[in-house]
Amino acid sequence: MKLRLLMLSVLVGCAADPVKDDTAGPGDTGSTGTDTGEADTDTDTDTDTDTDTDTDTDTDTDTDTGPEPVIAKEGTWDFSSTKVQSDTCSLKDYQDVNEFVPPTMDISNSSESGFNLGDGTRCTRSDLSFSCDTQDVSEKTLGGTAELAIESIMSGEIIDEKTMEIDFDVTITECSGAGCILIEAALTFPCPVELTTSANAR
């Protein structure tokens, strides 16, 4: 009876305190409960970008074009206040040199680049200054007994659309006719005369 009780005690003790087997058996991969640390997989990225597409390129389109160009008025102009600037040949002793300036001139095709005179002579502008092509004219003197061949170049400056200051460079190139005997005795050709005058549009 004592032997049974002893064996029963041994059996109960073995059941209550089983031996822990630390040896892994075949296929046993061990405990998978190992703490590998908390991997922070928070991939929250700030995608808040400035989407303000305001491309305000407001520019001042007001451009300063300057004053309007002065264009000589088309039509008839009158000359006045003619003065002799130079008369090296003393032609005034034989001829009224003021007559080398016509009483009027007619202007057409006027623009910022130039204008035409009534006889077709072209005057070319450089800003407000201008110079005209050479004009070949003739002038009778000494009661019509002598005729002078004249080259005349007109130049000057435009003051406004109705006013000009003008220079006449006049050269007497030769004389023809009976009266030239007296003129040629005193003058040597070519003989230059310079005059200034004003012109106003009607």
pLDDT digits (tens, 9 = 90+) for 46-64: 555 555 555 555 555 556 5
- At 99 the pLDDT is 87
pLDDT of residue 144 exceeding 70, the answer is yes
- The first and second tokens of residue 89, run together, are 């040949």
- At 118 the pLDDT is 94
Q: Number of H helices and number of E strands within the chain?
A: 2, 9
Q: Is the pTM of this model over 0.75?
A: no
Half-sphere exposure of 35 (CA within 13 A, CB side): 2
Identify whether the C-beta of residue 107 lies closer than 8 Å to the C-beta of residue 77.
Answer: yes
Instruction: Look at 67-71, 89-93, 111-115, 160-164 and tell me which has the smallest mean pLDDT.
Output: 89-93
